[in-house]
Structure 1
Amino acid sequence: MYRFFAALGFLLAFAGAAHWVVPAGRQAFALVSAQDDAARLADLQLAGVLTEARVAQEIDAALAENDAELAASFVELAQERGVPVTAERRSRVALANAPGASFARGAGSFGHGFLTGQGEDMAGLAGAAAGDLTVWGDVRDLGREAANWARGEPVDHFMVNLAGIGIVATGATYAAFGAPLTFRAGLSVLKGARRAGVVGGRFAGNIAAAVRGGSKAQLAALVGDLGTAGSKAGTRATFAGLRHVDDAAGAARLSALAQAKGGKTLAVVKTLGRGALFLTEAMAKLAYWIIAAALNVLGLIASFNAMVVAMLRPMWKKKRRRPLPLPA
């Protein structure tokens, strides 16, 4: 009987493991199925990490750093996903985002960014972006790079290209009464992201290649996606997402996420990082869970077969062979 109980024990163990393996495998498969839908992908991954404790921690940290925008984004995201936020934290976030407090905190930085195109905080970067919506911002940047060239200092050719395109786009915006405004806004976002250091070398190289190759459609789509992301989620969230974007497909994902999540995009990117836009460890997880599920099924079959054999073994009739007579 020891064989029967051993097989039964293995069968119960594999059956218990299936209760853990199957849901995890289903989750990994759902992540892979949603790889082309940035909003759905973010929702699936938030389900496992956005807890009440995590939200409280992020809000407190943002308020401690005087980052009212990030705190408000987490409150909005928590409300969407049904995660409780205490009334005390909500009141602190609302107070930090009051119009008077926001204006007093960012007026000076905004003006400095508008005039110089540089800013150490988000208000300054917003001012620089506002300057880019006029010819002043592009002329300012071209003048700065020209001065660098005259002094023998390094010239940011990427910024020169963007400023040149921006002047043309601004003229087209005024001529068409604002028709290509999304493209113009996308250029402003891209220039601001370059100043903030969030545009990676690979992404900048892809844009430069599109400019040199005359791929106007690809460039227009990419810049338009950034403009849409900025208008839906805000400049800060777009900058955060651009840290993880390398090409036009990534910009399209960021735009889709921003359109779906709006002001919650900043909190989503802060929580998930690159996982907000792309599959990261999900593919490895899926492979692991497929192997685990296959082994689990084989274990269930083998242990069940062994248990049946152990039950039927006593019923088998064993025929004993008579020994052959030895030669005389």
Structure 2
Amino acid sequence: MTLASARARTSVFLALAAILLWFAAKNVAPAYDGLRIAAAKEDPVALSDARLDQTLTPSRFSAGLDAGLSAGDADLAESFVTLGRMRGLSATAEQQARLEALRAKAGETAAEDFAQGFLHGSRDNGAAFAGALAGDLTGYGDLRDLLSEAEKVRRGEQADELVVGLAAAGLALSAATWSSVGALLPARSGVTLVKGAQKAGRLSAPLAKSLTAAAGKAVDREALTAGLGAAARFDLAAARAAAARVLRPGALASFRALGEDAATIYRRAGARGVKDVVAVAENGAELRKAARLAAARGGTTRAILATLGRGALVFAGLASAAVEAIFALIGALLGLALLAQRFGFWLGRRI
């Protein structure tokens, strides 16, 4: 082989190597992101961090903050500001001014929200939740809800089994909370949160279905009928006594676990954070993942959920672009290895 031919062969090898290196470099970042997401599929904290690295651009951050401000949701706006601070993103002066105005307005309605929460269990801010919890701890709120379901039965409608189950569990947890000097207050408060979300229609359809099925198995129909009948007659003493028997033995533990997960989310992300979670979670396992995420990420939880949705909690498979990048990277690296082998063999023969 002449020197010119050897040079031409070397140039071809180098050109092919350069092309394969460029192709590999182009796919390293998306392939790494895909593998990172796949590796974090059981860890909601790592999973959400990996997905935020891909999706939380400055424009996405600004749009999420604007959405919270436009909805009058100061908590969500605060969550985006905190998340942005952690990731090197900041609100504009105009957005900060709107947020300050929302904070001032929230303080003006606190007393009204507390009263509404106590009387009806309605609204979803901190003051309203405090009122709803105060009502449930006295037994008033749970008996009110049992009476409401009894009224449905009287009209020939179907009672909400999940509300009935949560109200019955709430009465049992309230009694245990008083006797344990507050040890079960987190579970008691969490049940109040989930019950309020169900009444407001905020639970995702799969979560409502799974919890309703669990409540159906946990509820003693005979005791339920007696309790609803007593509530319909406004016999509150009999209704309370019957409600204590509504849950079958052993069923309280599952409601207690549900309440504790919801309480963890509430402590770190607020009442609206709980309702954001139950709107996307589809079962108790995802609710537990959300509790882990809230425990680790605190006030940023609502912004994370608003940005990623259910993707913050579960791994539903890689996007096609990530899969293509992984296979392209593997192919390029294999091509480089084969090319290096061929070049080495050729060079060895020449030497």
- Asked if these proteins are the same fold (TM beyond 0.5), I'd say yes
Cα deviation code 1:266-296 (max 9, x no counterpart): 1111011111111234376664443222211
What is the DSSP-based 3-state SS (H/G/I as helix, E as strand, rest coil) of the residue aligned with 1:53?
helix
1:163 maps to which of 167, 176, 179: 167
**Structure 2 gap ranges (5+):** 219-249
Taking the aligned partners of 1:14 and 1:205, their CA distance within structure 2 comes to 52
Which amino acid is 1:111 matched to?
Answer: A
Partner of 1:184: 188
Q: Which residue in the other structure is 2:22 paired with?
A: 16
What secondary structure, in the 3-state scheme, does the structure 1 residue paired with 2:308 have?
A: helix
**How many residues get paired?**
312
Counterpart pick for 2:108 among 93, 104, 107: 104
8 Å contact kept, 2:23–2:329: no
Name 2:200's counterpart in structure 1.
196
Q: Which residue of the partner structure matches residue 33 of structure 2?
A: 27
The answer to which of 80-89 and 269-278 deviates more is 80-89
Report deviation, 1:310. Answer: 8.4
Q: 1:150 aligns with which of 149, 154, 157?
A: 154
For the pair 1:293 / 2:303, whether they are aligned, the reply is: no
CA RMSD of aligned residues (A): 2.9
Amino acid at match of 1:171: A
Residue 172 of structure 1 aligns with an amino acid whose one-letter code is: A
- Deviation string 1:165-214 (CA, Å, 9 cap, x unpaired) is 11111111111111101110110111011123232343234334545264
In 1, the alpha carbon distance for the partners of 2:274 and 2:150 equals 29
Equivalent position amino acid for 1:190 in 2: V
> Which moves more between the two structures, 201-210 or 191-200?
201-210
The SS at the match of 1:259 is helix
User: CA offset at residue 30 of structure 1?
Assistant: 1.8
Amino acid at match of 1:117: G
Give the match's secondary structure for 2:91.
coil
What SS does structure 1 have at the residue aligned with 2:183?
coil
Look up the match of 1:271: 307
Question: Aligned equivalents of 2:139 and 2:254: distance in 1?
Answer: 24
Q: Structure 1: which 5+ runs fail to align?
A: 316-328
Letter of the 1:252 counterpart: R
The residue type paired with residue 57 of structure 1 is A
How many Å apart are 1:303 and its aligned residue?
A: 4.5
Secondary structure at the aligned position of 1:282 is classed as coil
Q: 1:251 — aligned with what?
A: 287
CA 1:269 to 1:180, structure 2 compared with 1: closer, same or farther past 3 Å?
A: same
> Over alpha carbons, which structure has the higher Rg?
1
Residue 13 of structure 1, CA deviation = 1.7
TM-score by length of 1: 0.83
Deviation at 1:248, TM superposition (A): 2.4
1:234 alignment partner, SS class = helix
Please tell me the residue identity of whatever aligns with 2:29. Answer: P
Sequence identity (%)? 33
Q: 2:85 aligns with which of 76, 79, 89?
A: 79
Partner of 1:261: 297
Deviations 1:130-161 (A, max 9, x none): 53343111011000000110111221011111
2:211 paired residue number: 207
Q: Which amino acid aligns with 2:171?
A: I
Distance 1:275 1:103 in 2: 33
Q: Do the aligned residues in 2 keep the contact of 1:210 with 1:219 (CA within 8 Å)?
A: no
2:230 match:
none
Identify which range, 259-268 or 49-58, moves more after superposition.
Answer: 49-58
- Alpha-carbon distance change, 232 to 110 in structure 1, aligned in 2, over 3 angstroms: same
Q: Please report how far the alpha carbon of residue 215 of structure 1 lies from its aligned counterpart in structure 2 after TM superposition.
A: 5.0
Deviation at 1:123, TM superposition (A): 6.9
Task: For 2:264 and 2:48, locate their aligned partners in 1 and report how far apart those are by CA, in whole Å.
Answer: 19
Deviation at 1:21, TM superposition (A): 1.8
CA contact (8 A) 1:125 1:192 kept: no
The aligned counterpart of 2:247 is none
Residues 52 and 85 in structure 1, CA contact (< 8 A), matched pair in contact too: no
Evaluate the alpha carbon distance shift between residue 95 and residue 73 of structure 1 in structure 2; reply closer, same or farther with a 3 A threshold. Answer: same
- For 2:119, the equivalent position in structure 1 comes to 115
TM-score under structure 2 length normalisation: 0.78
Partner of 1:235: 271
Query: Does 1:37 find its partner at 2:43?
Result: yes
Distance 1:57 1:283 in 2: 23
Measured against aligned partners, the alpha-carbon deviations of 1:108-143 in whole angstroms (never above 9, x if no partner) come to: 444334312344x65796354553343111011000
Verify the 8 A CA contact 2:27 2:326 in the aligned structure 1: no
In 2: Cα distance, 1:133 partner to 1:72 partner: 30
Superposed displacement of residue 39, structure 1:
1.7
CA drift of 1:260 comes to 1.1
Distance 1:182 1:112 in 2: 22
In structure 2, the residue matched to 1:136 is: 140
Hey, what's the Cα distance between the residues in 2 that align with 1:85 and 1:232? 22
Preserved CA contact (<8 Å) 2:258 2:284: yes
- Amino acid paired to 2:192: S
